Amino acid sequence: MTEELSAPPPLPNFGDPNNQPSTEWYYVANGSRQGPVPASAISELLKRKELKTDTQVWRKGMSEWKSLRESDLAEFVAAEPPAISGQYIGNGYVWTLALLPLLIGVIEAVVTASNQEAAARSLVLGLPYHPSKGLPFQIPLLVNALLGWLDDRKLKQAGYGSRVTRVTAVLFQPVYLFLRAKRLKQRPYYAVAWIISFIAGFLIYASVEG
């Protein structure tokens, strides 16, 4: 009697990271090697924007490190388009941020000079003195936070958003400007302009106040 042979089992698909639960990956973050972690963890890090498509990865059997998009994990990033080039992202918000300290310094200097003139006139003419108030300190803070938030939202839409830039855009604008220039591979002209603007605005105000 001839023994009936059953069909052989299907071959495993070694090209699919999800079919390799035992495969562990290493990746580069902050200049150091991280891992090992399963492919599912790499996918989760990508979703949280903690890894980028050009992050270097490696697993046993590979001769060298490769970017995520060039490795067996490429399917995790295939559905997501790469970030657009920084040259196509407008810099209007950040240049406004950069020049804002100078503008505030000039406004405060004008108000102070006006008060000094009014005080001298009231002293000579014996008129009551009613000093003008400058900008409430909350106004510059809110304007800075709003401009930073708007620009970071634009970066997120372009594929560059992250938790660090979100926080610094609202709370630490000078740091944000340098981080932004680095991420977009731009020269940090607007970040340096902020420093110059801040110093110039302070000196203008101090010259009148003094």
pLDDT score, position 192: 97
Terminal alpha carbon distance of the chain? 112
Residue 72 to residue 50: CA distance in whole angstroms: 19
Q: Is the pLDDT of residue 82 over 80?
A: no
Answer with the residue of higher pLDDT: 209 or 68.
68
Q: Angle 163-171/138-158 helices, nearest 10 degrees? A: 160
Give mean pLDDT, residues 74-98: 85
pLDDT score, position 84: 87
Answer with the residue of higher pLDDT: 38 or 8.
38
Residue 112 to residue 156: CA distance in whole angstroms: 41
Percent above pLDDT 70 for the chain: 86
Q: Is the pLDDT of residue 147 over 90?
A: yes
Query: Under a CB-based contact definition with an 8 Å cutoff, are residues 144 and 97 in contact?
Result: yes
Consecutive H or E run containing 28: strand 24-29
Give mean pLDDT, residues 36-47: 90
Give mean pLDDT, residues 126-138: 75
pLDDT score, position 210: 65
Q: Is the pLDDT of residue 176 over 90?
A: yes
Give mean pLDDT, residues 87-110: 93
pLDDT score, position 125: 76
Domain boundaries, the chain: 17-78, 86-209
pLDDT score, position 103: 95
Q: Is the pLDDT of residue 1 over 80?
A: no
What is the fold of 17-78?
Dna Ligase; domain 1 (3.30.1490)
Average of per-residue pLDDT values in the chain: 84
* 21 pLDDT tier (thresholds 50, 70, 90): very low
pLDDT score, position 30: 86
Residue 67 to residue 27: CA distance in whole angstroms: 9
Q: Is the pLDDT of residue 138 over 70?
A: yes
Question: Comparing 43-47, 93-97, 183-187, which segment has the lowest mean pLDDT?
Answer: 43-47
Q: Is the pLDDT of residue 34 over 70?
A: yes
Q: Is the pLDDT of residue 41 over 80?
A: yes
CA 196 distance to own-chain centroid = 21
Q: Is the pLDDT of residue 145 over 50?
A: yes
